[in-house]
Amino acid sequence: MSQSASVPSSILDSFKDPALCRAVLEQLKAELDSPLRFMEVCGTHTVAIFRSGIHSLLPGEVVHISGPGCPVCVTHDAEVALFLELAAKPGVVVATFGDLMRVPGPQGGSLKSAQAEGGRVQIVYSPMDALKLAKDHPGDTVVFLGVGFETTAPTVAATVKMARAAGVANFKVLSFHKLVPPALRALLADPDTALDALILPGHVSAIIGMDAYRFIAEEFKTPAAITGFEPLDILQSLLEVAKQKREGRAEIANLYTRVVPPQGNPKARAILDEVFRPADALWRGIGTIPGSGLAFTDAYADYDAMACLGLALKDVKPLPGCRCGEVLKGKMKPNDCPLFAKACTPASPVGPCMVSSEGSCAAYFKFQLEL
Ligand code: SF4
């Protein structure tokens, strides 16, 4: 759902109002009676928090940690290695979103360098573009690289259904989609992460709804708030979780009701459930998380690139020197990585957290150093 399509612009402007934001920031300061270590798990929130200046304005007791919310960043080295293997396969055209192009492979190289060396790698802007590519190249197998969370996966599933309806058999998907709730469970169960509160992703929540997060409050007794991407959204969510913490409550608050219905989007979930089923998945820095990925259902197995092309993930060494794994788990701040802004910059990234515009290393670099 487009936020701007349903909410008048004058109301949206109020979510950026400096006076309102200052007032909520003051309320937040008054609410704090102990440190508040919060994590956001959405790349768009990461960028919004830095771009709006909120990261710098937060009182010292509030510790902001960016979690595994950037889809490119959480894609595992073994998965990136498989992208590069595919790019070298005769008869295969790799169709990918542009943000994967510069992610370094564990043995060097990237999709961009594979393309420069003659690999057939095509940037697309939607899975539908990849389906068109398959229709236009009936003699090739077009493999769409499926990365992203619950927000992206329904569109991919819908495209697979369209491929079936149109009888396009040379369109395949390498499904490395990831699911947010199982990753949150893994982080909350890790005593080293020690989170006081979670800010939950607005776009993902618009698909999965509120119930998918109940365990955060019920099992882990952790305050959490679903929120949007304007400065006031973010500050109100911090005020909410600070209040819950001070009052000894743990609830899932939905502060983004203009976009997120409590039940999410049942139609999108039905399409997802028809084409994909939950499966274990590899996350950079975290490893295998049970039930945190999406594999094809038997009914759509003929679109599964893994099975159709006989692919398998291999053990690979992590990127030398890169600490993305620790950054994604909130155990290290980007600027504590020894390579940050030295060997690793957006122009010459060592790891994916510096490649993607939603990566926390790139956000630190852009908004902490450049401004
Ligand atoms: S600064 Fe670069 S090398 Fe260090 S963790 Fe971030 S992406 Fe990896």
Which tens digits make up the pLDDT trace of 91-108? 999 999 999 999 999 988
Q: Are 83 and 96 in contact (CB under 8 A)?
A: yes
Residue 294 CA: distances (Å) to CA of 2, 124, 171, 279: 25, 21, 18, 5
Q: Could you tell me the sign of the dihedral formed by the alpha carbons of 114, 116, 120, 124, in that order?
A: positive
The reply to whether ligand 1 has any atom less than 6 angstroms from the CB of 351 is yes
User: What percent of the chain stands above pLDDT 90?
Assistant: 84
From the CA of 38, how far away is ligand 1's center (Å)?
Answer: 21
Mutate to test the pocket of ligand 1, among 361, 366, 368, 369 (most ligand atoms within 8 A of CB): 361
From the CA of 73, how far away is ligand 1's center (Å)?
Answer: 10
From the CA of 59, how far away is ligand 1's center (Å)?
Answer: 26
State the pLDDT at residue 6: 58
Superfamily of domain 73-179+265-308: HypD, alpha/beta domain 2 (3.40.50.11740)
pLDDT band at 2 (very low <50, low <70, confident <90, very high): very low
From the CA of 335, how far away is ligand 1's center (Å)?
Answer: 8
Mark residue 231 as left, alpha or beta (left: phi above 0; alpha: psi -120 to 50; beta: remaining): alpha
Looking at the chain, the number of H-run helices and the number of E-run strands are 19, 11
Output the residue whose Cα is nearest ligand 1's atom 7: 351
First to last CA, the chain: 33
State the pLDDT at residue 236: 97
From the CA of 5, how far away is ligand 1's center (Å)?
Answer: 38
From the CA of 110, how far away is ligand 1's center (Å)?
Answer: 16
Which residues, in sequence order, are bridge partners of residue 296?
276
Mean pLDDT of 153-180: 98
Please state, in angstroms and rounded to a whole number, the distance separating the CA atoms of residues 255 and 199: 10
Domain residue ranges of the chain, discontinuous segments joined by +: 3-69+188-252, 73-179+265-308, 327-369
The reply to whether ligand 1 has any atom less than 6 angstroms from the CB of 362 is no
Mutate to test the pocket of ligand 1, among 74, 353, 357, 365 (most ligand atoms within 8 A of CB): 353
pLDDT digits (tens, 9 = 90+) for 227-272: 999 999 999 999 999 999 999 999 999 999 999 999 999 999 999 9
Which helix H or strand E contains 146, and what residues bound it? strand 141-146
Using DSSP, state whether 171 is helix, strand or coil: strand
The reply to whether ligand 1 has any atom less than 6 angstroms from the CB of 340 is yes
pLDDT over 80 at 11, yes or no: no
Predicted TM-score (pTM) of the model is 0.92
Please state, in angstroms and rounded to a whole number, the distance separating the CA atoms of residues 364 and 187: 22
User: What percent of the chain stands above pLDDT 70?
Assistant: 96
pLDDT digits (tens, 9 = 90+) for 202-232: 999 999 999 999 999 999 999 999 999 999 9
From the CA of 286, how far away is ligand 1's center (Å)?
Answer: 16
Output the residue whose Cα is nearest ligand 1's atom 6: 361
The reply to whether ligand 1 has any atom less than 6 angstroms from the CB of 361 is yes
Which residues, in sequence order, are bridge partners of residue 40?
66, 199
Residue 289 CA: distances (Å) to CA of 184, 293, 303, 315: 10, 8, 24, 16
Q: What is the DSSP string of 237-282?
A: HHHHHHHHHHTT---EEE--TTT--TT--HHHHHHHHHHEEEEEEE
CATH of 3-69+188-252, one of 1.10.1370.40, 3.40.50.11750, 3.20.20.10, 1.10.10.10: 3.40.50.11750
User: What are the structure tokens assigned to 163, written together?
Assistant: 């491929």
The reply to whether ligand 1 has any atom less than 6 angstroms from the CB of 323 is yes
Mean pLDDT of 341-345: 94
Please state, in angstroms and rounded to a whole number, the distance separating the CA atoms of residues 367 and 197: 24
Which residues, in sequence order, are bridge partners of residue 224?
198, 252
- The answer to whether 3-69+188-252 and 73-179+265-308 have equal CATH topology is yes
Using DSSP, state whether 337 is helix, strand or coil: coil
State the pLDDT at residue 371: 43
Mean pLDDT of 148-159: 97
State the pLDDT at residue 3: 47
The reply to whether ligand 1 has any atom less than 6 angstroms from the CB of 104 is no
pLDDT band at 37 (very low <50, low <70, confident <90, very high): very high
State the pLDDT at residue 304: 98
